[in-house]
Amino acid sequence: MKNETDGTRREFLRALAAGACGACALGLAGGGARGQDDAPQPQVAVHDAMWFERLPDKAVRCTLCPRECVVADVERGYCGVRENRGGDYKTLVYGNLCSTNVDPIEKKPLFHYLPGTVALSVATAGCNMECKFCQNWEISQFRPEQVPSVLVPPENLVRAAQARGIQTIAYTYSEPVVFYEYMHDTAAAGRAAGVGSVMISNGYINEPAIRKLCEHLTAVKVDLKAFTEKFYEDACAGRLAPVLGTLEVLADIGIHTEVVVLLVPTLNDSAAEVGRMTKWLVKALGPDVPVHFSRFHPTYRMKNLPPTPMETLERARKVALDAGLHYVYLGNVPFHEAESTYCPSCAKTVIGRVGYRVEATGLKDGACASCGMKIPGVWSQEQAMAFKPQAKPAGS
């Protein structure tokens, strides 16, 4: 919701809701303020939830994320967007888009996925964590009744992307796990139409749900908040272990995955913790997983700490490279050399980046143009759409 234009966002959302899919509609993509007379109003779209178990006395157990909330009749789960109605579990944010924009794919950030392209980025209200440093808390920490939104059916979103020639839809800004059903259906419709789907997530999701979703997704970015349970508990109201489990499942599935770590001064930025984390990533996901260390800026409920010092970011990158990771980036620090991609074999620049300006002249057919070493990633739409999850071994 940040850095977006009020009027253009309203027009864009209305166009999507009405099914207007021309390039002119998407050319108006933009921001989100509220409170004006012609602004979208909060809406609730009741739709069947996919992941739950019925319990006695009309209660249900949500099985979508590791919280596994037990929800009594007429109550909601922790995320605030899934409600028990007489023993049937419902999602209240199916298509309730409160934020839309056309972003560079690098903003997600995804650096090894169709560099230089854009993504049609969407979000609804809600989250299954409460990070004290959340940049989008105005939508993630509110219920759907409190956030202006417009109902956009999956097929409208896919047609809008097609009309503009946008290759990817990104589910982002808040937490797409809580609008799982909409993401699932839109990604399925997108795949049928040749439009990819990327999930920008905290990774707080149960294994059956992520495996089902990856039948339709083409890439995933996971925010690994820290490498201690204490940080997750104190700063995010969550747990570390399930997120590590999700990363292991994604590696097993074989889908393109990138990892982002926001380094918060004094809380998760020590060289020792970064060392443990990156050694685990090498072992669990392999040395080629792209890892981004991002600079913290004070916001929401964590305004008492300064921005991450540059030396902390550079130290973390060195520790990660020493641990064996091949592709380590620094985020929220424009014009730094660590924005670019370098060949692990010959050290030549494969993809040069300055902010969102991207030049992939050093990449040829998915390999280093200088020495021919293969660079892991998704480098064409054909490659993105060809992805299929690896089959689990029998009996596993």
For the cut 70, the answer to whether the pLDDT of residue 13 exceeds it is no
pLDDT at 3 over 80: no
pLDDT digit string (tens) for 348-389?
999 999 999 999 999 999 999 999 999 999 999 999 999 999
pLDDT above 60 for 279: yes
Answer whether 0.75 is exceeded by the pTM: yes
Angle, in degrees to the nearest 10, between helices 154-164 and 6-18 = 110
Question: What are the extents of the domains in the chain?
Answer: 96-386
Give the span between the Cα atoms of 322 and 270, in whole angstroms: 15
79 conformational bin, left if phi > 0, alpha if psi -120 to 50, beta if neither:
alpha
- Specify the higher pLDDT residue, 133 or 44: 133
pLDDT at 5: 39
pLDDT > 50? residue 2: no
Mean pLDDT for the stretch of residues 6-14: 51
What pLDDT band is residue 25 in, cutting at 50, 70 and 90? Answer: very low
Enumerate residues 6+ apart whose C-beta is below 8 A from 367.
373, 374, 375
Q: Burial of 155 by CB count in 10 Å (0-12 exposed, 13-18 middle, 19+ buried)?
A: middle
Is 167's pLDDT higher than 80? yes
pLDDT value at position 40? 74
pLDDT digits (tens, 9 = 90+) for 116-156: 999 999 999 999 999 999 999 999 999 999 999 999 999 99
Proportion of the chain above pLDDT 70, given as a percent: 89
Q: What is the pLDDT of residue 29?
A: 30
Question: Is residue 336 scored above 60 in pLDDT?
Answer: yes
- When pLDDT is cut at 50, 70 and 90, the band that residue 11 belongs to is low
Which residue would you say has higher pLDDT here, 162 or 14? 162
Q: Residue 65: which of 187, 208, 199, 188 has the closest Cα?
A: 208
At 232 the pLDDT is: 98
| Average pLDDT of the residues of the chain | 91
- List the CATH code of the domain at 96-386: 3.20.20.70
- The amino acid sitting at 168 is T
Confidence of residue 28 (pLDDT cuts 50, 70, 90): very low
**Cα distances (Å, whole numbers) of residue 283 to 201, 280, 290, 325, 329:** 22, 5, 14, 10, 19
Mean pLDDT in residue range 13-23: 47
The pLDDT of residue 43 is above 80: no
Q: How far, CA to CA in Å, does 2 sit from each of 33, 48, 162, 206?
A: 9, 31, 25, 30
Tokens read off for 23? 């390039």
Is the predicted pLDDT of residue 16 greater than 50, yes or no?
A: yes
| pLDDT band at residue 44 under the 50/70/90 scheme | confident
pLDDT of residue 390: 86
Which DSSP category does 210 fall into?
Answer: H
Q: Give residue 45's pLDDT.
A: 83
Q: Which tokens in the block code for residue 134?
A: 């959340």
> Comparing 136 with 7, which gets the higher pLDDT?
136
Check if the beta carbon of residue 65 is closer than 8 Å to that of residue 177: yes
Q: For 218-273, what is each residue's pLDDT tens digit?
A: 999 999 999 999 999 999 999 999 999 999 999 999 999 999 999 999 999 999 99
